[in-house]
Homo-oligomer: A and B are copies of this chain.
Amino acid sequence: MKSKNIILLDHGSGGLETNKLIESIFLKRLSNPILERLEDSAQIDIYGKSLAFTTDSFVVNPIFFPGGDIGSLSIHGTINDLAMQGATPIALSLGIILEEGFSIGDLEKIASSIAQASKSVGCPIVTADTKVVEKGKADKIFINTSGIGILADGINLSSKNASPGDVIILSGFIGDHGAAILLSRNELPFDTKIKSDSAPLSELIKHLFDNLSAKERLQIKLLRDPTRGGLATVLNEISRASGVEIEIFEEKIPVRDEVKGVCELLGLDPLYLANEGKFVAVVGEEIASKVLSILKEHPLGKNSTQIGRVNKSRDGYQVILNTVIGGKRIVPMLSGEPLPRIC
């Protein structure tokens, strides 16, 4: 029996239990119109212009993994939260909690990785803080990054914007980050080349908006990156926020064979695996093919594909998967936590 009075790993899943915890503990008390929007980043109006502001803590285990480390991940994660609002990142903060006894050599590697990631997106770290706790009171290193971005005029992205007839586009293969972390943690008895997809999406999003007309930009309804909780959880959040049904097609969703193999072996579903360099776009049908061809021009979007559509809500707000064998099933939000500390 699970206790209701203590924090469980499930509360950190990014899925159902996280949402419930946030609502019952924090939203109830901290309630304000900006926080309640629950987007990937907040919108602040200042001097008649709009800024995006976001925060994320990273507790990934292990701290080094194929395709990245906690340093690069912490920059990409916050850059992507800004990018999902269509914001151009301008400044990052860095808050580091270290465990006594942590290797300074490893800290140097992580700092180099942070520096490289920050440079690659042209967004400096302008403020930082370091704390140390006793051995056994933290696990090596935890990193918080917060970020400020500038919101362009003429863009209006919100999880509430999906409407029937819209098209769902996914920017590439899913599950790579989750599978890479899992494999690097468990030392399973087989060798794969799965790497985390950890990458900054800001350039790809900029490339998209730069190549659309003002009118077309308004047909980009929302962008979301399916991190903790995976594609299934993000689609459920969109369905709930917009009050629509979302229908997706299993055969259209790109999953690498290696990731499929790992999922089959371990009884996991790639729809729930975390991604750190992918996004879902909900766009008006009339611009779908143009959006796809623009995304495919960029290395991070070359495997973009249309995976489904938005329908009028029938049986409540839900996500329906058309399976490869011709059936239909409801895909709920992630419940429980199969893979703690994925980011």
Interface residues of A (CB under 8 A from B): 4-12, 18, 21-22, 25-26, 29-30, 32, 34-35, 41-42, 44, 46-47, 49, 51, 53-59, 90-91, 93-105, 107-108, 111-112, 114-115, 118, 124-134, 136-139, 142, 144, 146, 148, 150, 337, 340-341
Checking B7, B46, B134, B146 against A95 with a beta-carbon cut-off of 8 angstroms, the contacting residue is B146
Inter-chain contact A132/B9, CB cutoff 8 Å: yes
A303 to chain B, nearest CB (A): 28
A181 to chain B, nearest CB (A): 14
Bound: A22/B261 CA distance, A: 44
Chain B residues with Cβ below 8 Å from A142 are: 97, 138, 142
Bound: A146/B125 CA distance, A: 13
Inter-chain contact A128/B53, CB cutoff 8 Å: no
Inter-chain contact A98/B55, CB cutoff 8 Å: no
Bound: A283/B311 CA distance, A: 65
Chain B residues with Cβ below 8 Å from A18 are: 130
A198 to chain B, nearest CB (A): 17
List the 5 closest A-B pairs by CB distance, nearest first.
Answer: A12-B132, A55-B93, A146-B146, A42-B126, A144-B144
- Greatest chain B CB density within 10 A among A10, A126, A139 is at A126
Checking B96, B98, B132, B341 against A133 with a beta-carbon cut-off of 8 angstroms, the contacting residue is B341
Chain B residues with Cβ below 8 Å from A111 are: 25-26, 29-30
Bound: A134/B99 CA distance, A: 15
Chain B residues with Cβ below 8 Å from A55 are: 93-95, 127-129, 144, 146
Inter-chain contact B25/A108, CB cutoff 8 Å: yes
Inter-chain contact A128/B35, CB cutoff 8 Å: yes
Inter-chain contact A47/B49, CB cutoff 8 Å: yes
A69 to chain B, nearest CB (A): 14
Chain B residues with Cβ below 8 Å from A134 are: 9, 340-341
A124 to chain B, nearest CB (A): 4
Inter-chain contact B124/A34, CB cutoff 8 Å: yes
Inter-chain contact B57/A97, CB cutoff 8 Å: yes
Inter-chain contact B53/A91, CB cutoff 8 Å: yes
Checking B129, B132, B144 against A8 with a beta-carbon cut-off of 8 angstroms, the contacting residue is B132
Given contacts A18-B130, A46-B51, A132-B340, 12 further A-B contacts (CB under 8 A): A5-B105, A7-B101, A7-B107, A22-B128, A25-B108, A34-B126, A35-B125, A41-B127, A55-B93, A97-B142, A131-B341, A148-B148
Residue of B nearest to A78 (CB): B129
Inter-chain contact A6/B97, CB cutoff 8 Å: no
With contact pairs A42-B91, A46-B90 given, residues A133 and B139 touching in the complex (Cβ less than 8 Å): yes
Bound: A114/B105 CA distance, A: 36
Chain B residues with Cβ below 8 Å from A29 are: 111-112, 114-115
13 contacts between A and B (CB under 8 A): A12-B130, A12-B133, A26-B128, A29-B111, A32-B126, A34-B124, A42-B126, A51-B148, A55-B94, A57-B97, A59-B97, A95-B95, A95-B146
Bound: A26/B127 CA distance, A: 11
Inter-chain contact A30/B101, CB cutoff 8 Å: no
Chain B residues with Cβ below 8 Å from A105 are: 5
Checking B7, B34, B103 against A102 with a beta-carbon cut-off of 8 angstroms, the contacting residue is B7
Checking B96, B132, B137 against A139 with a beta-carbon cut-off of 8 angstroms, the contacting residue is B137
